Copies of this chain bind each other. A is one copy, B any other.
Amino acid sequence: MDMRDIAKLAGVSSATVSRVINGSDLVRPGTAERVRRVIDELKFVPNGSATTLKYGKSSSYGLIIPDITNPFFPEFIRSFEGILVAKNQDMLMATTDFHASKMQQTIHRMLVRQVDGVALLASEIETGPIETLIRNRVPLVTMDRRLIGRGLSDVSIHYLSGMTQAVDHLKQLKHHKIGYIGGSAGLTISDHREQAYVKAIERAGLKFDPRYVRVGNYRVSGGETAMVELLEMKDRPTAIIAANDLTAIGALRVIHREGLSVPQDFSIVGFDDIELSDIVFPPLTTIRLPRHELAEAFVSALESSAKDPHAVGKQYTVKSSLVVRSSTGAPRKRK
In the complex, A176 Cα to B321 Cα: how many Å? 49
- Contact for A78 among B52, B68, B102, B136, CB less than 8 A: B68
Point out the residues of chain B lying under 8 angstroms from A135, CB to CB. 43
Which A residues are closer than 8 A to B by beta carbons? 43, 45-50, 52-53, 58, 68-69, 71, 73-75, 77-78, 81-82, 85, 90-95, 102, 105-106, 108-109, 111-114, 132, 135-136, 220, 249, 253, 256, 275-276, 279-281
Q: Say yes or no: A81-B95 contact (C-beta < 8 A), given A73-B74, A90-B109, A281-B281.
A: yes
Point out the residues of chain B lying under 8 angstroms from A48, CB to CB. 49, 112-114
Q: Are B71 and A112 neighbours in the complex by a CB distance under 8 Å?
A: no
Question: Most chain-B Cβ atoms within 10 A of its Cβ — which of A58, A92, A113?
Answer: A113
Point out the residues of chain B lying under 8 angstroms from A95, CB to CB. 78, 81-82
Point out the residues of chain B lying under 8 angstroms from A92, CB to CB. 90-92
Minimum distance in angstroms from A116 CB to a CB of chain B:
12
Point out the residues of chain B lying under 8 angstroms from A82, CB to CB. 95
Q: Are B69 and A74 neighbours in the complex by a CB distance under 8 Å?
A: yes
Minimum distance in angstroms from A158 CB to a CB of chain B:
25
Q: Are B281 and A45 neighbours in the complex by a CB distance under 8 Å?
A: no
In the complex, A81 Cα to B66 Cα: how many Å? 13
Q: Say yes or no: A276-B276 contact (C-beta < 8 A), given A85-B105, A90-B109, A281-B256.
A: yes
Q: What are 11 A-to-B residue pairs whose CB atoms are below 8 Å?
A: A45-B112, A47-B112, A49-B114, A50-B53, A71-B74, A78-B95, A81-B95, A91-B93, A91-B94, A256-B281, A281-B281
Point out the residues of chain B lying under 8 angstroms from A68, CB to CB. 74, 77-78, 81
Q: Are B58 and A49 neighbours in the complex by a CB distance under 8 Å?
A: yes
Q: Are B94 and A81 neighbours in the complex by a CB distance under 8 Å?
A: yes
In the complex, A132 Cα to B42 Cα: how many Å? 11
Residue of B nearest to A136 (CB): B45
Q: Say yes or no: A220-B49 contact (C-beta < 8 A), given A93-B93, A105-B85.
A: no
Residue of B nearest to A68 (CB): B74
Minimum distance in angstroms from A295 CB to a CB of chain B:
13
Top 3 A-B pairs, shortest CB-CB distance: A49-B52, A48-B112, A49-B53
Point out the residues of chain B lying under 8 angstroms from A249, CB to CB. 279
Minimum distance in angstroms from A97 CB to a CB of chain B:
8
In the complex, A49 Cα to B136 Cα: how many Å? 16
Minimum distance in angstroms from A154 CB to a CB of chain B:
24
Minimum distance in angstroms from A250 CB to a CB of chain B:
8
Minimum distance in angstroms from A81 CB to a CB of chain B:
6
In the complex, A179 Cα to B92 Cα: how many Å? 42
Q: Are B90 and A45 neighbours in the complex by a CB distance under 8 Å?
A: no
Point out the residues of chain B lying under 8 angstroms from A220, CB to CB. 279
